[in-house]
Amino acid sequence: MTKPEFRFADRKDSELILKFIKDLAEYEKMSDLVVATEEQLEEEIFGKKKAEVLFVMEDGLEVGFALFFHNFSTFLGRAGLYLEALFVLPDFRGKGYGKATLKKLAQIAVERGCGRFEWWCLDWNKPSIDFYLSRGAEPMS
């Protein structure tokens, strides 16, 4: 694997973000549920700053993305980092980009003083569940 590079999305990336969302939805067999628009994403992510997007790159090409935001733990009294979506394009899977992205997000959570780093996974998605478990994730019921 080439050492992955990362970059945060900016306003000009709204079209690319929507493409990754649609690719993820297709993978999850939920394409019919995507109603987001480029304009909506631009306003929510960059205007209102409700979420952030991190791209993982290979040779200058965006090959995956992670969409995340901060939540809050009342018991910890601290913000957490919540991973809403992680997706690597099929042709680039198995190269360590998912692992590298999780590691980068964990680093961001630590740098920002987050008390937790959380996400959920569809219960039928065994490849993703196995991936997360292999990274030391602890399932919650």
Residue 9 has a CB neighbour count (10 Å cut-off) of 22
The whole-model pTM stands at 0.87
Residues of the chain predicted below pLDDT 50: none
Residue 131 pLDDT? 61
Residue 68 pLDDT? 98
Residue 3 pLDDT? 85
User: Quick check: is 132 catalytic?
Assistant: yes
CA atoms of 50 and 48, how far apart (whole Å): 6
C-alpha dihedral sign at 83, 89, 92, 94: positive
With contact defined as beta carbons under 8 Å apart, do 76 and 36 qualify?
no
Enumerate the H helices of the chain as residue ranges. 14-27, 38-41, 97-111, 126-134
Residue 87 pLDDT? 96
Residue 121 pLDDT? 61
C-alpha dihedral sign at 53, 58, 64, 68: negative
Catalytic residue (one of 27, 82, 97, 132): 132
Residue 109 has a CB neighbour count (10 Å cut-off) of 21
